[in-house]
């Protein structure tokens, strides 16, 4: 329990800059998308919280397996589909629905080799989301989840490859 290694050193300022810049543009883009789509003023349908965690992965750790396109895109969409299915077909208390959706999304991501930790949060949003989220049903997995994913993914492709550091180049692999 006490650990055997020292914490790694702080990253270089250039890596910190690119991480900041990518996350800024990625989250801003989906926030603008949220503002431009005709939805309730206070509903943040397109600002799904799990994309904050995804921004950390795809911009601050673009070489990680969890950050690769297969994981990022597949993890979010499959987890959203799991969450929606659990919400639609199991009529249980929200506490157990939440646990079932997150745990099943982990199983599905493992089985499909699309493990993306923020996907668990996406499954949870499908359970605890707004009435508008629930009204969308399976469309939620594609609009906003897949659309947000493509917006952030496109920005990650550009920002991570602007760096001259080959360790930032993204992706490492596609499938």
Whether 5 is covered by a domain: the verdict is no
Q: Is the pTM higher than 0.75? A: yes
Tally the C-alpha atoms within 13 A of residue 69's C-alpha that lie toward its C-beta.
Answer: 15
- The 10s digit of each residue's pLDDT in 141-155 is 998 999 999 999 999
| Cis peptide preceding 165, ω within 30 of 0 | no
Range with the lowest mean pLDDT among 38-42, 48-52, 101-105, 112-116? 38-42
* pLDDT tier, 38 (very low <50, low <70, confident <90, very high otherwise): low
Band the pLDDT of 40: cuts 50, 70, 90: low
Higher pLDDT, 157 or 41: 157
* Residue 3 resides in a domain: no
In a domain, 52, yes or no: yes
Tell me the C-alpha distance between 143 and 134, whole Å. Answer: 12
- Which H, E and C letters describe 110-151, residue by residue? HHHCCCCCHHHHHHHHHHHCCHHHHHHHHHHHHHHHHHHHHH
Is residue 39 within 8 Å of residue 133, measured between CB atoms?
no
- Within-domain flag for 173: no
Q: Is residue 4 part of a domain?
A: no
Are 105 and 123 in contact by the 8 Å Cβ rule? The answer is yes
Total count of domains within the chain: 1
Q: Which residue has better confidence, 118 or 164? A: 118
pLDDT in tens, 55-74: 999 999 999 999 999 999 99
Dihedral sign computed on CA atoms, order 22, 28, 29, 30: positive
> Is 122 contained in some domain?
yes
Report yes or no on 7 lying in a domain: no
Domain range for 149 is 13-168
| Over residues 116-127, mean pLDDT | 96
What is the 8-class DSSP label of residue 156? H
Q: Which residue has the tokens 């969308």?
A: 136
Asked whether residue 6 is assigned to any structural domain, the reply reads: no
């Amino acid at each position: 329990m006490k650990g055997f290694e020292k914490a790694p050193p702080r990253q270089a300022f250039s890596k910190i800059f690119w991480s900041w810049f990518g996350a800024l543009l990625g989250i801003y883009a989906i926030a603008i998308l949220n503002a431009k789509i005709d939805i309730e003023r206070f509903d943040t349908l397109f600002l799904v919280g799990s994309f904050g965690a995804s921004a950390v992965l795809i911009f601050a750790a673009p070489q990680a397996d969890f950050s690769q396109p297969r994981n990022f895109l597949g993890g979010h969409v499959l987890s959203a589909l799991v969450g929606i299915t659990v919400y639609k077909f199991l009529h249980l208390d929200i506490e157990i629905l939440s646990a079932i959706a997150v745990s099943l999304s982990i199983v599905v991501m493992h089985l499909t080799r699309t493990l993306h930790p923020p996907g668990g949060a996406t499954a949870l949003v499908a359970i605890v989301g707004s009435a508008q989220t629930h009204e969308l049903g399976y469309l939620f997995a594609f609009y906003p989840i897949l659309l947000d994913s493509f917006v952030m993914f496109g920005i990650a492709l550009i920002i991570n490859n602007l760096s001259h550091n080959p360790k930032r180049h993204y992706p490492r692999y596609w499938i």
